[in-house]
Structure 1
Amino acid sequence: MKKFKKITRKLHLWLGLASGLVVFVVALSGSILVFEKELDRFFRPGFHLVPEVSSEKVPVDILIGKAEEKHPGTSLHDLFVFDAPERSVRIRLADEHGEWTVVSADPYSGKILKDAPYKKRFFTIVMELHRFLLMGETGKTITGISCIIFVVLLSSGLILWWPLKRKHFKQRLNVKWDASFKRTNWDFHSVFGFYSSLILLLIALTGLVWSFDWYENIMYFLADGKPKPVHLVKNVSEEGPDNQDYFYESMLRETDSLFRYRGDIRLIVPPQKDRSILVLKENPEADIPNVRDMVYFDRYSGKRLQTTLYKDLSTGDKIRRLVYPIHIGSIYGYPTRILAFVVCLFASTSPITGFLIWRGRKKKKDMEKRPANKEIL
């Protein structure tokens, strides 16, 4: 057992040193993203809230038209219509290069409230740092490999935490705050690493879904026995009627009438011209988050082509819908989000405390190897 722990300690050390900087950046940025919606609304209320709530709303087509008029050369990519009456409509436009502009519109007055390039949003930059290290696909690969290493670090850390003797078990559960810095630092790294290990494992394992397609397909194979299905419905027509009043508004209203519960609605216009428009409505009455029913509309005629209910999705699709809520800790609301925030903050400190442990042991070994000074007579 001692020999196994010695090998595990070396593995834990060198993998930790190799991935420490990436783990620090990803964990710290991840802790910020846990409360992205609340923080963004707090610091930019004008982007999310309307000046005054009224009883009548203008059709979203008018809002889209004004947004496109203000940003020539762009077209609708998607829009969010929120159930909360005080929320503005969020419109995302795309130009010919695929660059996005986010526009906030007042659904009551029809005015454009705020707009900004998507890439310049603070939380967009934090997300790019979290997933790509601001390095594109290369950064995505680095974070993905570091995430796998982090899973190994958590597993090896549990092995190292486990005491060889039962009488030492109790002291491994507490931090000795009144001890020397070296001892307190070791306790902090080890004890809080033990308490947060399970939650961090869930966060890391769900995070791998965005890094590697093969990992996501394994998840689907385990759940459904087959690869991830492709959810797309092609258009039936190649052109629509000349006069289509309130084209997008009619889709939103039809979706709202199909699903009688109250909830946020998202409309997505795929860049591929042969694909239909997707409208999703989230059910806030469900026991778990991210429960959405879907309706596909022909992008030219506006006719409903297909309705897909959440209850009819495969087990793999339902698990995939839970990946994001588990990853950011929103699976059970604020209690689990606060927990996710705390453990992510701890994870950002673990490379630092781990480095200090290694540095302290290295200095001790160097001192032991140094020959004693001899007095010359």
Structure 2
Amino acid sequence: MSPTKTLFRNIHLWLGLGTGLLIVFVCLTGSVLAFEQEIEQAWYPARYFVAPATTPRLPLTQLAEAVKAYKPKARISSFKLYADPARTVEVSLAGDANGKEAQGNARGGAGQMPGKGGPGKGGKGKGAAGPRIFVNPYTAAVTGELNPRDNFFKTVEQLYRGLVAGKTGKLVMGVNSVVFLFILGTGLVLWWPTARKALKPRLTVKWGSNWKRLNHDFHISLGFYAAVFLFIMALTGVGMSFDWVGTGINKLTHSPLKRPEPPTSAAPVVGGTAPLAADAMLALARQQAPDAESYSVQMPKEPTGSIRVAILRPGAITESATYEVYLDQYSGRIISSQTYAQKPVGQRIRGLFKPVHTGAIGGLPTKILAFTIGLLGATFPITGTIMWWNRRRKSRRARPVENVILVGMN
């Protein structure tokens, strides 16, 4: 082996041995997160699905009353409705800085609340998201509640992205992604055959061989096929871990470094028109896109705040690729609107990090691919360690023989 390949082998080996356990953990938890939505809905079907009724869906004001009866002190921040008649309506509650649902009664119309921002963003106070309440759109019965703090997949995601260790954990996972990129790169260099006739054996697994040979082929051959996808996952993992990546993308694409402040409604007149109800806003949003798969109506927190409606159209590349409309909360006038294609390039690229990373970008086929690649990625540190251990044992067995030969020669 040439000195260059020896160097790459040492880098590949020691980086792999040093981060192997962490890579196994990341790949396994990543595989679980690939089917987060499907598993969650399978575990709690009554929370997400109802039997479609022949009667029309109830207005949002009535659903809001049911939520307030269920949680009298909660404040509603948004509604999410699906075109699918079998889906429940998701009602998000506002959270305070400690992640608890905010106290006090809603102001104004259904779901009205003071301040700016939306569910999960916390507005100026940077509060954590409150729980989501699921409501039957035909009976107004509460079918379930999901609290982000107590959610299994939220915990898995926190472990996956930062080991539940804050900024330090996020830094560790980011560095791990960078190290993984080096492992994959050096692995491809080592994989590349020196002779053309050696190419085929490196692309195939000899299934009838002994376990050592199978372990070797699993690491070498399957590693090659998975390397490209793992490289993309590791690269997006770096982007999700380090803020400077997003900043750099914004600068390269000449995109704004910060998202603009949402537009405001006209200042309310004392004794004038009351804010429009959420149902009126939903009707206006449906006029903009009657064939949408879902509508998320985010209520304003301040008297001058606007109502944001995120519309997911059929064929959207991800669930976050929405058409956004801002409405004046008193007149219903469209203040501004922005399709997904009109959003800054930098924002769209950064928005693809997570869906590409988890395989959600192409629906079920890419989720299956991400799940499979994640499982394969978890095996490579194991098969690589076994290969190293076998070579080490073989080297130790050869040394006594060499010593005997040298003694005999003397």
Give the TM-score taking structure 2 as reference length: 0.81
Opposite residue 209 of structure 2, the aligned amino acid is A
Cα 1:57–1:278 shift into 2, 3 Å: same
Return the match for 2:213 from 136, 160, 183.
183
Shift in Å at residue 69 of structure 1? 3.8
Q: Which residue of 2 aligns with 1:4?
A: 4
Moved more, 127-136 or 80-89: 127-136
1:90 has 2:90 as partner: yes
1:291 equivalent in alignment to 2:291: no
Q: Which consecutive residues of structure 2, in runs of 5 or more, have no partner in the other structure?
A: 101-129, 405-410
1:351 aligns with 2:357: no
Aligned residue for 1:50? Answer: 50
Q: Residue 144 of structure 2: SS of its match in structure 1?
A: strand
Q: Is the 8 A contact 1:206 1:327 kept in 2?
A: yes
Q: What SS does the corresponding residue of 2:131 show, helix, strand or coil?
A: strand
One-letter code aligned to 1:306: S
> How far apart in 2 are the matches of 1:270 and 1:327?
32
Deviation at 1:253, TM superposition (A): 1.9
Aligned to 1:91, the other structure's residue is in SS state: strand
Give how far 1:301 is off: 7.6
* Letter in structure 2 aligned against 1:228: L
Q: Distance in 2 between matches of 1:168 and 1:273?
A: 72
Relative to structure 1, is the Cα distance of residues 339 and 90 closer, same or farther in structure 2, using a 3 angstrom cutoff?
same
Match of 1:331 among 339, 355, 361: 361
Q: How does 1:102-181 map to 2 (within 5 A)?
A: 102-181=132-211
1-structure distance, mates of 2:256, 2:397: 57
Q: Pick from 205, 209, 213: which aligns with 2:235? A: 205
Q: How far apart are 1:104 and its partner, in Å?
A: 0.8
- The one-letter amino acid paired with 1:24 is V
Structure 1 gaps of 5+ residues are none
- The 1:271–1:23 alpha-carbon spacing in structure 2 relative to 1, beyond 3 Å, is farther
User: How big is the shift at 1:139?
Assistant: 1.9
Any idea what the Cα deviations from partners look like across 1:120-174, whole Å, max 9, x if unmatched? 2222222222212232332222111111111111111111111112211110001
Mapped pair 1:230 → 2:259: yes
SS at match of 2:352: helix
The equivalent residue for 2:71 is 71
State the one-letter code of the partner of 1:142. V
* CA RMSD after TM alignment: 2.9
Q: Structure 1 residues 83, 365: closer, same or farther in 2, change over 3 A?
A: same
Query: CA offset at residue 270 of structure 1?
Result: 7.7
SS at structure 1 position matched to 2:207:
coil
1:64 aligned counterpart, secondary structure: helix
Q: Which of the numbers 191, 194, 197 marks the counterpart of 2:224?
A: 194
Supply the AA of the counterpart residue of 1:47.
R
Q: After superposition, what is the alpha-carbon deviation per residue over 1:157-197, rounded to whole angstroms, capped at 9, x for unaligned?
A: 11111111221111000112232322211210111110011
2:394 alignment partner AA? K
Q: 2:311 aligns with which of 281, 285, 294?
A: 281
What's the secondary structure of 2:140's corresponding residue? coil
TM-score scaled by structure 1?
Answer: 0.88
Identical-pair percentage: 32
The secondary structure found in structure 2 opposite 1:294 is strand
Alignment-derived partner of residue 15 in structure 1 = 15
**How many Å separate the matches in 1 of 2:305 and 2:175?**
34
